[in-house]
Amino acid sequence: MLKKRGQFDRFFQQDYLKTTRIGTNLVYGNGISQTAYFDFNSVYIKETDYNNRPANPPRTNALTEYYFDLTKFVTVKSIKTIEEILQSTGSDISAIKQDINVINQSYLPLNGSKAMQGDLNLGNHHLYLNNLNAATSNDYLLAVNNQNQVVKNGTLLKSLIDRIETLEQQTSTAVPKGMIAIWGKPAPFPEGWEEYVPLRGRMPIGLDVNDSTFSALLNFGGNKEKRLGISEIPSHGHDWLYSYEGDDDNTGHSFDEFTFKPGKIPQTDLKNPIGKTGGDQPFSLLNPYRVVHFIEYTGKASDKTAPTTPANLSASNIGNTSLTLNWNESTDNVEVTGYLVYKDNFNTPLAELGKNTLSYNVKGLSANTNYNFYVKAKDAAGNLSDSANLNATTTNVTPTVPTLQHAYYGGPIMTLQWPNNIDLGDITYELYRRINGGGYQLIKTSTETFYYDSLSNGVTYSYQIRINSDGYISPYSNTVTVTGNFS
C-alpha cells in the first residue's frame, strides 16, 4: 500500500513543468551591451505552484518563463512514431552541419586554402582581394595579387601604426578637464595635472550666489592676521590714576597716595595719566592647517622642461648672524612660479619664495662660520632647475655698545634711542632702569633700538643698555638720567 502511494506521488509531482531561459549580456568593442548566450533550465513543480503562476510571465531576453500542464500532453507509445520523430530531427541536424561545412570550405577554411571573395570597404581605405587593378597606392592596406600573394601598403600601415602609438601615449582617463584635486606630495604631479595657481596659499570656499562675498567664481579675499580697530574692541571704560598733592617722601610710589577715578581723564588734570598701553600687534586668524598642493586636470602632456638656473648668486650685508642672498631671475618654457632657498645640502628649503622675489635675508647663523647656500627655480609643473651654489662665511666682529641717547621736553613721556651703526644683522639689546637711586631692573629685551617710557612728576629715572646676543654679553652703556617735570 505504501509503495503504490509513493508511485502515485511521484507521478503526481511530474504533472507540471516550469522552464526558464536566462540571457547573459556582454559589452563588445563598440561599447554596446548585447545578449551573448542563454542558459536553459526546467523543473517539475507542484500543482499549487502551477495554479499560482504569474498571469503574465516574463518574456524578455533577460528572462523568459513558461508553465506547462503535462496532464494535457499526449503520450507517444508507438515505436514507429518515435522513430519517425528521431529520423526527422536527425535530418534537420545533418542539414545544419552541411550548411556550416559549406561556409567553412567556401569562405574561410581553417587551412587557409581559400580567401574571402570580393572587396572589403573600410571607409577611406579598402581591402582588395580580387580586383587589385582598381586600387591606388593611397587607398588600400592589403591586397591579393594574381599570384594569390598578399600585398601591403607600407605607407598607410606606418601611418596607422603611428596613430595607434600616439593614442597609446595619451592619458586614458574619465577625469573631466578643469577638475581640482588635492595632492599631498611634492611635485612633480601626475600626468595631465598641473598646479592650480589661483589656490596657492589659499583655502577654497564654495560658491554661494545668495551671498555677495561668495557669489563670484574665483573671487578672493581674507587675511591670515588682523589688527583690531577702536570700533572693533569690546565697549569698556578706563579709570585714571590721580596722585594727591602731598607727596611727603617725593617717591611717587606709595600706594596710599593714589586713588582711582572713573571716566575720562580731565584735560586740566594730567599729573599722573595712565598713558598708552598695548603692543598694537596683529593676531592670527589661522585654524590648524596642513599645507598641500591644489592641482588641476588639464589633460595636457606634462611639462618636462625645467627652468634655467638662477644666475649670479651672491651674498651681501654679511654679519655675525645673518646675510642677504641675491640672484637674477630664471626663465622657463611656460612660467617660473618661484624660488627655493636651501642651506648646507638640507632637503627641506629654508624658504619658498614668489617668482618676483630675487633676494632672501638669512638669519640665525653662527659667527665666523662657513655655509653653503643654493637656490633653485621652480615652474608650475613642479620642475626644479639646477641649483645655483654659493659659499659664504659670516663675520666675527665684536659688536660695540651704541651710545644711549634720549629726548625729553617735560611731561609724562620720554624717548630713548641707541642707533646701531655697525651692520651685524639683528642684535638683541637689554634695557635696564632704576628709580630714585634704587637697583637697576630689566624692563625690555628686544632687537629694537628705541623705547618710550612714562614718567612721574618729580621722580628720577636712570637707564643703561647692554648687548646680550648669540652668547655675547657686552659691558653696560653710558647712563642716561631724567627727572619727570610736569610744570
Residues 10 and 42 in one domain: yes
Q: Within a 10 A sphere around the Cβ of 220, how many other Cβ atoms?
A: 9
Burial classification of residue 359, based on how many CB atoms lie within 10 Å of its CB (0-12 exposed, 13-18 middle, 19 or more buried)? middle
- Phi-psi label, residue 436: left if phi above 0, alpha if psi -120 to 50, beta otherwise: left
Residues 127 and 55 in one domain: no
Residues 362 and 435 in one domain: no
Report yes or no on 354 lying in a domain.
yes
Cell of 147: 599570384
Residues 311 and 372 in one domain: yes
Q: Which is it for the CA torsion 342, 347, 352, 357, positive or negative?
A: positive
Which domain range does residue 154 map to?
A: 120-169
Separation CA 473–CA 414 (nearest Å) = 27
Residues 381 and 453 in one domain: no
Chain centroid to CA 288 = 17
Report yes or no on 126 lying in a domain.
yes
Report yes or no on 215 lying in a domain.
no
DSSP 309: P
Report yes or no on 274 lying in a domain.
no
Pairing of strands 125-128, 140-144: parallel
State whether residue 232 is helix, strand or coil: helix
Residues 373 and 413 in one domain: no
Residues 346 and 374 in one domain: yes
Residue type, 453: D
Query: Which pLDDT score is estimated for 416?
Result: 92
Is the preceding peptide bond at 188 cis, omega within 30 degrees of 0? yes
Separation CA 342–CA 349 (nearest Å) = 5
Residues 64 and 145 in one domain: no
Report yes or no on 78 lying in a domain.
no
Residues 138 and 62 in one domain: no
Report yes or no on 226 lying in a domain.
no
Global pTM value:
0.42
Q: Which residue among 370, 393, 416 closes a domain? A: 393
Burial classification of residue 16, based on how many CB atoms lie within 10 Å of its CB (0-12 exposed, 13-18 middle, 19 or more buried)? buried
Query: Which pLDDT score is estimated for 347?
Result: 78
DSSP 91: H
Report yes or no on 91 lying in a domain.
no
Cell of 377: 627655480
Query: Which pLDDT score is estimated for 65?
Result: 94
Residues 382 and 414 in one domain: no
Q: Which residue among 72, 100, 128 closes a domain? A: 72
- Long-range contacts formed by 58-66: CB under 8 A, 24+ apart: 60/23, 61/23, 61/35, 62/22, 62/23, 62/25, 62/35, 63/20, 63/21, 63/22, 63/23, 64/20, 64/21, 65/18, 65/19, 65/20, 65/21, 66/18, 66/19
Residues 428 and 461 in one domain: yes
- Long-range contacts formed by 254-263: CB under 8 A, 24+ apart: 262/237, 263/237
Per the CB < 8 A criterion, the answer to whether 418 and 405 are in contact is yes
CA triple 82-67-79, angle to 5 deg: 10
Task: Give, in order, the Cα–Cα distances in Å from 19 to each of 13, 58, 83, 130, 175.
Answer: 15, 12, 26, 50, 46
Report yes or no on 56 lying in a domain.
yes
Total length of the chain: 487
What does each of the 487 residues of the chain score in pLDDT, given as a tens digit?
333 334 444 444 678 899 999 988 876 555 677 887 888 999 999 989 999 999 999 999 889 999 998 888 877 778 888 888 888 777 777 777 777 777 666 555 555 555 455 544 545 544 544 454 555 555 555 655 565 556 666 666 777 788 888 877 776 667 888 899 998 887 778 888 888 888 888 888 888 889 888 888 888 888 888 888 878 888 876 655 444 444 444 544 443 444 444 444 444 444 444 455 666 778 887 888 888 889 998 888 778 899 999 999 999 988 888 899 999 999 999 889 999 999 997 778 899 999 999 999 998 888 889 999 999 999 888 889 999 999 999 988 777 888 999 988 888 889 999 887 555 567 889 999 999 989 999 999 988 889 999 999 999 999 999 988 777 788 999 999 999 998 7
Which single residue is written with the C-alpha cell 639683528? 426
Residues 388 and 451 in one domain: no
**Rounded to the nearest 5°, which phi and psi values hold at 392?**
-140, 145
Cell of 179: 577638475
Q: 250-285 as b/e, with b when 16 or more CB fall inside 10 Å? A: eebeeeebeeeeeeebeeeeeebbeeeeeeeeeeee
Query: Which pLDDT score is estimated for 185?
Result: 85
Q: Which residue among 128, 143, 169 closes a domain? A: 169
Number of domains in the chain: 4
Say which CATH number the domain at 449 has.
2.60.40.10
Separation CA 171–CA 298 (nearest Å) = 11
